[in-house]
Structure 1
């Protein structure tokens, strides 16, 4: 399996339907005055330094910035994988700091989907078993119609009986994407989800996420360093030194690349 740091020549993202008016959109997740500091006093390093941002339902948002900008920290704290030093994060109208460890685990399991650069599949399980694993752990029966719709959309119908070692990298990431969607989460977070894929496989995964937003009403928040990947999003949020420094709607790869070049000046 080859790897590329920047996707090359992907299929053009599908043209989105007209967006709902801003005032009609509800918020899937948000951060308010979010601070994440490591260390204390003068030696403290602020990965996030007073970030306030909201992610709307039914939208695809990319988070970008140079290394050390805080983009992965923002995603991890909003997703409940890490805690803030101060400020607050919410999924819908639930503030995460008000939850016990058990309640937070349940919320992540039932309301959030995760896609990471590493596929994180269980090697002894088949593709179908890996996809259904979150439901099995929650003791829930799958909606077979929904499951079949996802499997058909990601093109895994003929590979469900195969174990990860028998699948290509792109197919393994499709399994991971299907697993993230099978529980119908309110929001899906992706941390460099195409970082370990070749350009063709990466573009296929991004196109599927784009279609999940358009056709299934899914909410997706993705951290990426790649302007081509960000062009699949409805909106790009730019971070630098722990601050949000810019936003862009209806991005193109050229516009995103031009904005990213300014970080180096």
Structure 2
């Protein structure tokens, strides 16, 4: 008799469980996250979307260990971020997490190659030369390695930032509005690059964006509203994402609280 076993499910690269984040206290406190549980599958490109003030950037910051939860837990792989002291959390972010931000955050005095290698140099290691070499080809910057950031276009600078984020082979790369400072053509190139890097290197990307066109590059979109997870969409298209977002932005008048009943969100990350 042939015995078949169920395939082993790959654990998520990152996840949050019953995540609550409160800014302020008492009557002025605002729940930026209100009991969110979501996993970010390994080897996938996931986008986080929601209206302004929905908690999407807060979710990313807490999942990445850049901010702490008020309640609940955040994990990178099987590691509970809440169990780590500051030193171990810093080491985890350095060794297992990559970041791409709206501002490119390149060091202006370093060359492209030096910027890509910067996380490895700061960690005191050489990394994997073959991996770095392959990354340079994936991001299409081999002919720019000796250039400095000021000699590059915005799109090229963000490609350097993408390569830098993947240089240490992190478990997951978090991207916060990575195309926010780019024109549509350059933004499309960077988004295509993120998708290709996920597919070619089996890495994981979690991206916060407000743009349905950007979200359509992902394998899946998770939607937040009022600090809660309200929907997930596989194989998104820009039109489907836009239609879903319209449902958040055009509530019925009976569902809209008065201004006096709605706490100010000016100090809450989106």
Q: 2:181 aligns with which of 196, 210, 219?
A: 196
* Structure 2 counterpart of 1:119: 104
Count of equivalent residues: 245
Mapped partners of 1:205, 1:35: distance in 2:
32
Q: Distance in 2 between matches of 1:30 and 1:218?
A: 15
Question: Partners in 2 of 1:143 and 1:113 — Cα distance?
Answer: 16
* Equivalent position to 1:152, from 112, 126, 137: 137
Structure 1 unmatched ranges of 5 or more: 1-20
* Residue number among 75, 79, 87 corresponding to 2:60 in the alignment: 75
Which residue does 1:7 correspond to in 2? none
- Structure 1 residue 38: Cα displacement: 0.9
How far off its partner does 1:24 sit?
2.5
Determine the structure 2 residue equivalent to 1:29: 14
Aligned to 1:18: none
Q: Residues 206-225 of structure 1: matches in 2 within 5 Å?
A: 206-225=191-210
Any idea what SS the aligned residue of 1:54 has? strand
| Residues 204-213 or 115-124, more deviating | 204-213
Q: Which runs of 5+ in 2 are unaligned?
A: 1-5, 251-270
Distance 2:10 2:161 in 1: 28
Give 1:57 shift: 0.3
Note the C-alpha offset of 1:23. 6.2
Q: Aligned-pair distance for 1:169?
A: 0.4
Q: CA deviation at 1:22?
A: 9.3
Aligned to 1:232: 217
Q: 1:173 aligns with which of 158, 163, 176?
A: 158
Distance in 2, Cα, partners of 1:38 & 1:117: 23
| Structure 2 residue 68 is the aligned partner of structure 1 residue 45 | no
Indicate the structure (1 or 2) with the bigger Cα radius of gyration: 2
1:102 alignment partner, one of 81, 87, 97:
87
Q: What is the aligned partner in structure 2 of residue 84 from structure 1?
A: 69
Alignment correspondent of 1:12: none
2:110 equivalent to 1:93 = no
TM-score where L is the length of structure 2: 0.89
What SS is found at the alignment partner of 1:244?
strand
Hey, what's the Cα distance between the residues in 2 that align with 1:240 and 1:158? 44
After superposition, the Cα gap between the structure-2 partners of 1:107 and 1:37, relative to the gap in structure 1 and judged at 3 Å, is same
Asked if residue 264 in structure 1 is aligned to residue 254 in structure 2, the reply is no
How far apart, in 2, do the equivalents of 1:256 and 1:64 lie? 9
